[in-house]
Chain A
Amino acid sequence: MVRIKIKAEALDIRFAQVRALKAVNIEVMRNEILSVIGPANSGKTTFLRALNRMNDLNPDFKMAGNIFIDGEDIYGGMNVNLLRKRVGMIFALPMPLPMSISDNISYGPRMHGIRDKKRLADIVEESLRSAYLWDEVKDRLYLSALKLSGGQQQRLCIARTLAIEPEVVLFDEPCSGLDPISTAKVEEAIFKLKERYTIVLVTNNVKQAARVGERTAFFLNGELIELGGTEKIFTAPKDMRTEDYIRGKFG
């Protein structure tokens, strides 16, 4: 089995006049957690949203270069809905839909044509278990998801993404609005997920990258400055700018 899951080649992205990514080459390995760090406007979220083509929703979006998943060019005639089914995404703020916990989880599978009630119930349970939320909500599956706490909502969103059985899960600063305890729970969920999924975690919390990621990429002003094992990046970075950022000199 090939180790490379995602490969971006000379990825160059513009939004109108702004160049958000500059000739980025990067590979994501199968079943790894790749942390992406960098200050605001460094292009890390743009990179993430390129992987499931969420950037396409912005009418000013222009792209050059290629992105391959399992060797398939995602911009080369691949159905965008099928791509997003394979590459799920968790947003910075928890975004439960205003429906019940159960309906939130089953939304994706239902939209993809699964009607069988029993099977949907199984998917809901399994997904909630994978996101470490099942025990907290199993008695109130039909309660509005908006009644949950922020951390629970974010794990609900993780479960909702897992319910469509993706291969890759993208996290876009998933803990930016959460307290430390909720953050710890979400991180634990992410960490366990790598057994089954390939994970890209964008974070503006350097310590989180150090805790969770196996490899870490540092973005600055749309360029990939450095990519390597998390240990190495945090103890002996090659680039001065990486070191400055990690030490908190800017950002």
Chain B
Amino acid sequence: MRAQAKQRIAFTVLFIINLLVIVPVALLVIFIAVKGWRAVNWQFLFAFPSNGMRAGGIFPAIVGTFYLVAGSLVVTLPLGVLAAIYLYEYAGNSRLSRIINLAIINLAGVPSVVYGLFGLSLFVITLKMGVSIIAGALTLAIMNIPLVITASREALSSVPHSFREVSYSLGVSKWQTIRHAVLPYALPGILTGAILAVARAAGETAPILFTVAAFYLPQLPKSIFDQAMALPYHLYIISTQIPNISESIRYGTALVLVALVLSMNLFAVVIRSRFRKKKKW
């Protein structure tokens, strides 16, 4: 009886702790949704800001964020996945791979504002890209590389070693083995890394502060060398720099940002579960 009572207490405690994790997330979404949903309509989504951002929509900021996320993913995914393949499948436990691992850990610990300054000095000034989408996307990409590498490496290591052995035993080369007997099964895990990278690229303000973000632009960017508005920066501006702005616009913007990130996540989760179903073992 006492053991059972103890077990019940333990389960109750664990259950409450889990509730504590869900509650803040739910509260955050509900809070933002309740305060912001009135502002969100077609015009808000597809019009330019007007009257000094106090009216109109946030279309250019949505587009800008979209460009930045896509641009950073195009760079960070191949780079991160290939680096992970090299590190996990080829490098072994050499001195070089230990140094690279150390670099990755340190890179992951760098505050995002430092990435912003780094992007400013390297891409914007030294490489003469100017304050532009490409400079911002590259800065975000570098910020996300450790994340993608770590997730991809985890994914590779979760593929049973026996798959590789079987493939080698059939005389299949190392690269073909990785390509056909390992990567397809690591894909769900790699996608998890991509999801996290998307969310971070869409949400971070500091890295884009000096590298791409514009206070206000009367038109959409025409090339990757143009400045762009972006949702997190726009939110920061209308929350701190613009007096007499209605609360619903601020929370509406936040709601759109959260919804955008969540829907991109959802999209990736759906793809991932599709893959999982097909490639289960």
Contact = CB atoms under 8 A, between A and B. Distances in A.
B125 interface: no
A108 B165 contact: no
Contacts, number: 65
Contacts of B173: 81, 111
A95 B170 contact: no
Interface stretch (A14-22, A38-46, A84-92, A231-239): A84-92
B182 to A, nearest CB: 11
Contacts of A157: 166
A228 B169 CA distance: 28
Contacts of B180: 107, 111
Contacts of B169: 52, 54, 84, 88-89, 91, 161
A81 B172 contact: yes
Contacts of A64: none
A97 B166 CA distance: 8
A108 B181 contact: no
Interface string B138-180: 0000000000000000000000001101111111110010001
B42 interface: no
Contact of A88 (B93, B167, B170): B170
The residue among B163, B169, B279 with the most chain A CB atoms within 10 A of its own CB is B169
A86 B185 CA distance: 28
B171 A164 contact: yes
Nearest to A112: B171
B171 A82 contact: yes
Contacts of A91: 162, 165-166, 169
Contacts of B279: 98
A145 B173 CA distance: 23
Contacts of A54: 165, 168-169
Interface in A31-59: 52, 54, 57, 59
A86 B162 CA distance: 20
B81 to A, nearest CB: 20
The residue among B163, B166, B176, B280 with the most chain A CB atoms within 10 A of its own CB is B166
Given A59-B92, A91-B162, A95-B162, A108 B168 contact: no
Contact of B172 (A59, A95, A98, A108): A108
A7 interface: no
Given A59-B92, A107-B180, A111-B176, A97 B163 contact: yes
B185 A81 contact: no
7 cross-chain pairs, A with B, having the tightest CB-CB distances, nearest first:
A85-B171, A98-B281, A84-B171, A108-B170, A89-B169, A111-B172, A81-B171
8 contacts: A59-B93, A82-B171, A84-B168, A86-B171, A91-B166, A98-B280, A108-B170, A161-B170
Interface of A: 52, 54, 57, 59, 81-86, 88-89, 91, 93, 95, 97-98, 107-108, 111-112, 146, 157, 160-161, 164
